[in-house]
Amino acid sequence: MTLLRSLSAYRCKVIIQAADSAEETSKTKIKSQKTVLSVLYGIWKREGILGYFKGLHAQILKTVLSSALLLMIKEKISASTWVLILALKRYLLLPRGKVKNL
């Protein structure tokens, strides 16, 4: 449910920003006030319930890919940190007399 709310809020934000940029480029300077509720009502009126899910595939793909990338980076950093800690532990706790000269 939270995902759907955030996606509809994201779509509302995009529609509001697109309307603002379209008004800036047009010759008429009539500034209509766009709110989230008015955009939600407009989507419902023009596109119906399926309008709230427009662009859902792209947003989910973006979210999954970025989450996977962040998780992979976290795992690599975690593994490298453990190797570094174990190497330092072995180096610091190794008695100096037992090092062989080759």
pLDDT digits (tens, 9 = 90+) for 26-38: 655 555 567 888 8
Nearest one of 66, 63, 55 to 8, comparing CA atoms:
55
pLDDT for 2 beyond 80: no
With respect to residue 79, please indicate whether it lies within any of the assigned structural domains.
yes
Same domain, 64 and 50: no
Provide the domain limits for residue 76: 57-96
Check residue 80 and give its pLDDT: 97
Count of structural domains within the chain: 2
pTM across the whole model: 0.53
Nearest one of 85, 101, 83, 102 to 93, comparing CA atoms:
85
Check residue 28 and give its pLDDT: 56
With respect to residue 41, please indicate whether it lies within any of the assigned structural domains.
yes
Kindly report the number of other CB atoms within 10 A of residue 59's CB atom. 16
Same domain, 61 and 91: yes
With respect to residue 102, please indicate whether it lies within any of the assigned structural domains.
no
| DSSP state for residue 10 in the 8-state scheme | H
Residue 15 burial class via C-beta count within 10 angstroms: exposed 0-12, middle 13-18, buried 19 and up: middle
With respect to residue 65, please indicate whether it lies within any of the assigned structural domains.
yes
pLDDT for 68 beyond 60: yes
